[in-house]
Amino acid sequence: MTCALCPRTCQAERTPDRPGGVCRQPSAPAVAQAMLHQWEEPCLVGEHGAGTVFFSGCNLRCVYCQNRSISQGGVGKPVSISRLREIFRELVAQGAACLDLVTPTHFTPAVLEALGKDTWPVPVVWNCGGYERVETLRLLEGKVQVYLPDLKYALPGPAGAYSAAPDYFDRAAPAILEMFRQTGPYRMEGGQLKSGVLIRHLLLPGELENTRRCIDWIAETFRPGDVLFSLMSQYTPQPGASGNLCRHVTKAEYRSAVEYMKNCGVTDGYTQERTSAREEYTPAFDLSGV
């Protein structure tokens, strides 16, 4: 395939056996782990956990990525379409509250084929970095019930410096609007999210203004009851970090972000305890379940 799935539109030749592009992945799916994951938002976890499939590769280059071994390090195992479908079925059989597909964008055709025409008994969750093409998202209509995008940046400075994507907001904003067009206002049953959009934002140390601008956009764009918002405090310094990224988010920074969120009327969603910033919450990525 000549790839134009994400906003990079790098036109790389990706075949089932030949990797290419910014994601550095072949067209056939590669998976690092499949598991019942307890550390998603409560509305996705249920009694046993979210049925999470961690795909290898990513179209962003976040210098603070906690999953760097799979997003940029190449950890993962190639799987066939039929095996990917089996993985989905195995997770459902284990009691998964949803099928949580993490960083699947560069494998969109393969994921769609694996999902097939069936109606799955649990919501299919598209868990992505927010840096998406509207044209690709339209292929997912009717197949994905819950969109779980990041809204990492509203400012081009940190977007370029930290993720090599200065156009991040210009791509993420219309992508999130397309997600909302497909799902409509979020719908909960028994405390579980059945359909809708849940937007995540990770507060970065020293980048409170960026967080405020992200919250502004959500408050100005959506009405109460439209989308859920998760303000995360779990930033963990990674090897090689410099400047503000060498430290955790302070209590004062996170408290200020939460207060700003409430003052803007963004009250549907989640905040985190600062104890969420722990390395042990990152899976081992040992190919289990693959």
pLDDT digits (tens, 9 = 90+) for 41-53: 999 999 999 999 9
Rounded CA-CA distance 127/250 in Å is 27
Rounded CA-CA distance 190/183 in Å is 19
114 with 101: CB under 8 angstroms? no
Rounded CA-CA distance 257/147 in Å is 23
In tens, the pLDDT along 136-160 reads 999 999 999 999 999 999 999 999 9
Share of the chain above pLDDT 70, in %: 97
34 with 290: CB under 8 angstroms? yes
Mean pLDDT confidence for 275-282: 54
Mean pLDDT confidence for 12-32: 92
**Residue 219 has which token pair?**
């408050």
Could you count the other beta carbons within 10 Å of the beta carbon of residue 143? 16
Rounded CA-CA distance 194/172 in Å is 23
Mean pLDDT confidence for 18-36: 94
DSSP state of 243: G
29 with 82: CB under 8 angstroms? no
Rounded CA-CA distance 41/43 in Å is 6
Rounded CA-CA distance 155/258 in Å is 19
What is the per-residue pLDDT for 191?
95
List, as own/partner pairs, every contact residues 93-96 make where C-beta atoms lie below 8 angstroms and the sequence separation is at least 24, other chains included. Answer: 94/36, 94/48, 94/51, 95/36, 95/46, 95/47, 95/48, 95/49, 96/36, 96/46, 96/48, 96/49, 96/50, 96/51, 96/122
Share of the chain above pLDDT 90, in %: 88
Please report which confidence band the pLDDT of residue 275 belongs to, taking 50, 70 and 90 as the band edges. Answer: low
